[in-house]
Structure 1
């Protein structure tokens, strides 16, 4: 049977669920890596611009303003000292110098990376140096009496120099302000880009999740749902339902395997239906055969018995009335006829008893074998007494069976043990009983003539005799009836090949406390 999964031919037709999952996971990881990289770049860019604005642009502008304030304080102190000559005005000048130095120390590294702001700072420092050299230090170093004269002499030069310095400071601050404004715009753009980037990342994640869900639904969930629904239909008895094979290759292969199993089940069901039909026909034949057997038993017990009794009666009457009046050959012929009629009557009765096993007597109940055994011994009391047989037995249990059939079983076994005794020794018969699981194992052992190994299976066949009727009378039905009775009760029977001298017949019967066995039907 072809196990290749059905499905459309294509580039990906042989991909299994594992292949699709691996491809889907790989594609998802690539997409997430790309959008994650873009999101990381947006975050880095925003952080870089923020750092530039917070750590360089804004501090540079602030320090430039502080530098200007420190120079204004110095200029105010020098002008006040030059006009009044009071040394108190030199204190703002000294403080302004300290603030100037601190502001310049902070501005230099902040403007080093930008050529324009670095040039602005260099121009400011040059003009500061000119103002200090020409105006501030000479006036501050002059005595109070000469400070006014020196200040008046250099008033114009000092004003022009400080105005140039002020213009340079304004120009520097204008450049720093424009750079800070540009950095602010860059920061806003970066933040906007970052926000859009994260919105795109969120949309991509939602799209990927939707695609994964839809892919799982179409590729795995829906095919499994359809396959499960079809399998449930099959399990409910709709074996004609085809199982669809869709989705990845392994799911199609699974559907194909399950469908193959369905077809095999359908074939087995058809075969079972055919077998059941044949069994029904055989049962009908068996029922008809049983009916014919019933009719035969009726004929044998009524129609055949009556003429047989007449033949037997008249031959016996002939023997009594004309015995001794005819020649010896005539007496012999009459004796043959009487003996044949008697044996025929015994044989018919034995056949009737054999046919009734499992058919007429079929009342299963708890049976006390002690009572059945005692009745069988009592029925054979004459033969036992004449043969001098000694019978011993273990305590016999209760079993499940039919009392009449079990009585026939014990009577046949004990009768055979007495009948086939050895002429060299008195018969000794021993009956044992041992529990084995749900069954009792019985054994009837004697010290008689025994049975040769090659005949130990044949003695259970109907009409099998090992001796002539003159040596041992009988019809050869006894052990066949025992086998039928034991097997009807669900047991087994056989001969122990290791027992000597004599014969040991072993059989099993269900115990009374064992689980109920299914009822057995006996065939004709």
Structure 2
């Protein structure tokens, strides 16, 4: 006994929401089709009886009564003419004859399908014909004196014949009245049946709607509501909240998938917590390392430079005092020592400047790049004049940043443009600025020796040199410094690969505000 329900439940447990909906809709449509058929039959039955009553029974009874009235008018006119001989009594007779023909034309098709009514009509027509043949037509067609004699002579026969006709018409009308009453009763029964059928249809529709809503509530909306509540609790941080599915198979699978996602989130959170702990430890190590680097920078700027200055001073002293007094090899060694000490001092100073980017100079404020560029050009005036360089630029905007670092950026870019100039032409440098959305794009274009495509990324790496120090002096930190300054301000920098006649360095900086247009400025050497 108990195994069958469990088997049925297990059979339906695999049904999805779509299958439940298809089955429910199909069942509902089938029930509605049956109810519609029953309702249609009830309407058709009522319509048929109404048509029978309105189009046949009632008109047949009315036509029979008009037939009787026409015959009575004929009898009254004939009898009056037969008694008085006055011709004006024949007028009702003539009207009755015409009315009789009209009533018969109307009545014959109405009783064609009813044997009893047809038999009654035949009897009435036969008796009416006998009366008209024996009494009405002879009297109505005779002169006044002859009509009185014929009426008197046939008075008894005429009365008996017309009484028989009256009885036949009474039977006909009684039968037609009975059929009309029966049709009325059938109509009332049909209307009652129709009303009950439609009431039952309404009750069944309401019951089906209640079943549909209850099925949707139990099978779909309630499980979805519980799943939604559980999902919101998980979203609010209760990751230990288990999600249990109910209802159709696809909703249970959905609950299982969401619960699987919850478990994965718990695992990810645990992993993230462990990673965060590790990151905190690494951040502490990085902070400690930065502190050590700052201490190293301090040592490099004070403790290392002092002995380096002594070495440089004494080697230069040796060079001045004993230059030319020793052999050529000794003079060369002293020159190597002086040059190495000087280059070491420059390298240390450049390293210190590189390490200070974003650490020492970190005052973000509104900076007028026109003013910064003017100061940079003043600082480089000697080099620009000696090389015959010409620097032109677009109107430069105002940005948010550190003025010292932006000055270092301009100085390194312009120094490189002058340093790596072509030997057969004076350097020409063009600085352009274009607003792209909320970012300014700057380009420093020169007509120098250019950079080979394979080195366009390498030049921004610290200490990367493309030439020997004898050909082009420097420490290889300039463009690395530019890259660090630009990235510290939230921009990007790179070499334009489409520019071949020289070098075009393109970098971006976040815009501070729109600047009004100004005429192009030109700086002569």
TM > 0.5 between the two? Answer: yes
Give the corresponding residue for 1:410: 410
Q: CA RMSD in A?
A: 5.0
Pairwise CA distance, 1:119: 2.1
My pick for the range that moved more, 389-398 or 14-23, is 14-23
- Inter-partner Cα distance in structure 2 for 1:30 and 1:442: 83
Pick closer, same or farther for the CA change 1:132–1:374 going to 2, 3 Å.
Answer: closer
Pairwise CA distance, 1:482: 1.1
Pick closer, same or farther for the CA change 1:309–1:212 going to 2, 3 Å.
Answer: same
Give the corresponding residue for 2:433: 434
Give the corresponding residue for 2:170: 174
My pick for the range that moved more, 322-331 or 49-58, is 322-331
- Inter-partner Cα distance in structure 2 for 1:269 and 1:105: 102
Pick closer, same or farther for the CA change 1:390–1:57 going to 2, 3 Å.
Answer: closer
Pick closer, same or farther for the CA change 1:468–1:191 going to 2, 3 Å.
Answer: same
C-alpha contact 1:50 1:187 (8 A) present in aligned 2: no
Structural mapping, 1:10-49, within 5 Å: 15=19, 24=28, 28=32, 31-49=35-53
Structural mapping, 1:356-395, within 5 Å: 356-384=356-384, 387-395=386-394
Pairwise CA distance, 1:279: 6.5
Pairwise CA distance, 1:406: 0.9
Residue deviations 1:324-361, cap 9 Å, x none? Answer: 59987898878766665554444333223212222332
State the secondary structure of the residue aligned to 1:465. coil
- Inter-partner Cα distance in structure 2 for 1:138 and 1:500: 141
Pairwise CA distance, 1:403: 0.7
State the secondary structure of the residue aligned to 2:513. coil
Structural mapping, 1:176-191, within 5 Å: 176-191=172-187
C-alpha contact 1:440 1:509 (8 A) present in aligned 2: yes
Pairwise CA distance, 1:480: 0.9
**1:293 pairs with one of 290, 295, 305:** 290
Give the corresponding residue for 1:350: 350
Unaligned runs of 5+ in 2: 1-9, 113-117, 516-525
State the secondary structure of the residue aligned to 2:361. coil
C-alpha contact 1:297 1:352 (8 A) present in aligned 2: no
Give the corresponding residue for 1:474: 474
State the secondary structure of the residue aligned to 2:60. helix
Normalised by the length of structure 2, the TM-score is 0.72
Pick closer, same or farther for the CA change 1:107–1:388 going to 2, 3 Å.
Answer: closer
Give the corresponding residue for 1:520: none
**1:309 pairs with one of 303, 306, 310:** 306
Give the corresponding residue for 2:119: 115
C-alpha contact 2:61 2:177 (8 A) present in aligned 1: no
C-alpha contact 1:369 1:397 (8 A) present in aligned 2: yes
C-alpha contact 2:311 2:341 (8 A) present in aligned 1: no
* Paired residue total: 487
Unaligned runs of 5+ in 1: 1-5, 81-87, 516-524
Residue deviations 1:436-480, cap 9 Å, x none? Answer: 523232214253x55454434322111223344455543322221
Give the corresponding residue for 1:488: 488
Give the corresponding residue for 2:61: 57
- Inter-partner Cα distance in structure 2 for 1:496 and 1:13: 60
Pairwise CA distance, 1:502: 5.6
Give the corresponding residue for 1:83: none
Pairwise CA distance, 1:201: 5.1
My pick for the range that moved more, 40-49 or 18-27, is 18-27
C-alpha contact 1:367 1:402 (8 A) present in aligned 2: yes
C-alpha contact 1:495 1:503 (8 A) present in aligned 2: yes
Pairwise CA distance, 1:59: 3.0
Give the corresponding residue for 2:458: 458
C-alpha contact 2:57 2:176 (8 A) present in aligned 1: yes
- Inter-partner Cα distance in structure 1 for 2:96 and 2:424: 149
Pick closer, same or farther for the CA change 1:352–1:176 going to 2, 3 Å.
Answer: same
Pairwise CA distance, 1:397: 0.4
Pairwise CA distance, 1:280: 7.2
C-alpha contact 2:57 2:179 (8 A) present in aligned 1: yes
Structural mapping, 1:212-361, within 5 Å: 213-214=209-210, 217-218=213-214, 223=220, 227=224, 234=231, 237=235, 274=271, 278=275, 281-282=278-279, 285-286=282-283, 288-302=285-299, 305-306=302-303, 308-310=305-307, 312-313=309-310, 316-317=313-314, 320=317, 324=322, 343-361=343-361
Pairwise CA distance, 1:281: 4.2
Normalised by the length of structure 1, the TM-score is 0.72
C-alpha contact 1:301 1:352 (8 A) present in aligned 2: no
C-alpha contact 2:388 2:427 (8 A) present in aligned 1: yes
- Inter-partner Cα distance in structure 2 for 1:96 and 1:414: 136
Pick closer, same or farther for the CA change 1:294–1:330 going to 2, 3 Å.
Answer: farther
